[in-house]
Every structure is written in C-alpha cells, then in structure tokens.
A and B are shown apart, each in its own frame.
Chain A
Amino acid sequence: MSFSLKKDKHGVVVVGVDGQLIVGNRQDLKQKVLDTLEGGGKKFVIDFTKTGYIDSSGLGVLVSLSKKIREQGGDLRLCGLNEDLQTLFELTKLDTLFAIARTPEEALAAF
C-alpha cells in the first residue's frame, strides 16, 4: 500500500491511493497532503481507482483533510470509487460532504 502525489499542468495535486486507506497508513496520507498544502498546493484530487478498501479511520482522515483544505481556501475532490466504496460513502452520508467524480479526468475538469 502506498500513496503517490503528482501535480497536473494546472497545479492540481492528484493523490493516488494504492491498496487500502486504513488505520495503519492514514497518518502517512494526512501528512503528505498537509505538507503539500503548507507548500502552497490548494486544489487536490484523491484518486481511489487502485484502492481495495477504506475503513472508518480512513474516512475520518478524508473528512479532516477536507476541512483543513477548505480552511486554507482550497478544494478537495474524490474520484475513482468502485461500486462498493461508493456505497460506503452513501451509507455514511459522506457522499453529501464530498465532491465525488467518476474518473480523475472528470475530477480535474471540474476545477
């Protein structure tokens, strides 16, 4: 499991989550995104195309990052959720809290 961060040509930071986002690695993701935010990054896309599962603490980190990014005048979008992950967001009503796009391309185009 690992995270990749890259900036697109418009300066949007795309974070890929490979494997899972759970209690054992969520702080790593949080720190990477917060460091980038501190370095001036404002627009973020988290891409779950290669993600197997997310537990409640992973969901919690997304909620916390979303708040911190908004406080800095930025924006966070999610994309690439498979059917199961989409259901998880709907059950927890977090689909009402996040802007969720189907693909990374759609998420980037929405900025």
Chain B
Amino acid sequence: MTTPQPLQLRRRATGGETEIELSLDVPSDLEYVGPAVELIADELPGGPLSPRRIRFNFRTAFAEALANAIAYGNRRDPGRVVRVRVEVARDAVRLHVTDEGNGFDPAGVPDPTLPERLEREDGRGLFVLRSLVDQVAFNQKGNSVCLTLRAG
C-alpha cells in the first residue's frame, strides 16, 4: 500500500427494524481488508450478535467477501472502490458488499472439499462464506453479496 488513506466510517440511525446503518468505501487494495474488518467489527458489540460470533463468524465472513470483491470483482483497480453497508437490526446483522466489476456466477464455483481440489491453494472463499453465515444472497449480476447473520 503506497499511499494509505484512512477509512471513513459513516453511521446513520435509521429507526424502524434496522436500528443503525454503517457504511464504508474501501479502496481496491487487499491491505485494507484487515483494517476495514476491525473498523466495522468494533461497532457491533451490544448488538444482536454474541461476542464469539462477532470475533469469528462476522470477521472471517466479512474478510472473505471484501477480499473477493477487491481481488476478483474490482481486480485491484485503484480507480474502483468496494462499497460496504451494514444494517444492524434487532434480529440480525446484514452485510452488503458491492464491487464495480462484471459479476460472476456463484453456481460455477467448484466444491473445494473434493479430494482432487483439497490441496489447491485457492478456491475456498465462497465455501467458507457459506459455512459461516446464515444466508448468502448475490444480486443477479453477481457483483453484490448480502450476508445475513441472525441474532445469537
């Protein structure tokens, strides 16, 4: 990261079912993944998720989604950003990660636990994502994912 820029977290009290909405624009550089995850995770205690689920499920899933968006969606293009929006409601946390790429077909990603794929270095991201959250929903284009972690 040659010219680090501070990440600017925006907070909005929404009222209704979603109590708080957090948003963040992340540059397309993988060095930002760790700091962005910590910035959002630090805002979650006291909400619907247990400390353990924040520490592990939320952090890991967010890191996966963000890294995918930066590396495969935006192809690390410094002219593109990844938009992150987090809805903190009473019953769940919903995390939206949107890149500026052309999208992909999640159905076309092979199972990384097949014996012939087990020793590959890459290809586990989507599988890990699906294992850690309650729901993974892509938009039709495949450049935006919504991860839902229900309360608990």
Contacts and interface: CB of A to CB of B under 8 A. Distances in A.
Contact of A55 (B57, B63, B112, B118): B63
A55 B119 contact: no
A55 B55 contact: no
Interface string A1-44: 10000000000000000001011110000000000000000000
Interface residues of B, number: 27
B64 interface: yes
A108 to B, nearest CB: 25
Contact of A92 (B31, B57, B124): B124
| Chain B interface, DSSP helix/strand/loop, else mixed | helix
A96 B117 CA distance: 13
B78 to A, nearest CB: 16
A93 B34 CA distance: 25
Given A1-B34, A20-B34, A55 B60 contact: yes
Interface stretch (A58-66, A71-79, A99-107): A58-66
5 contacts: A24-B31, A52-B56, A55-B64, A59-B128, A91-B131
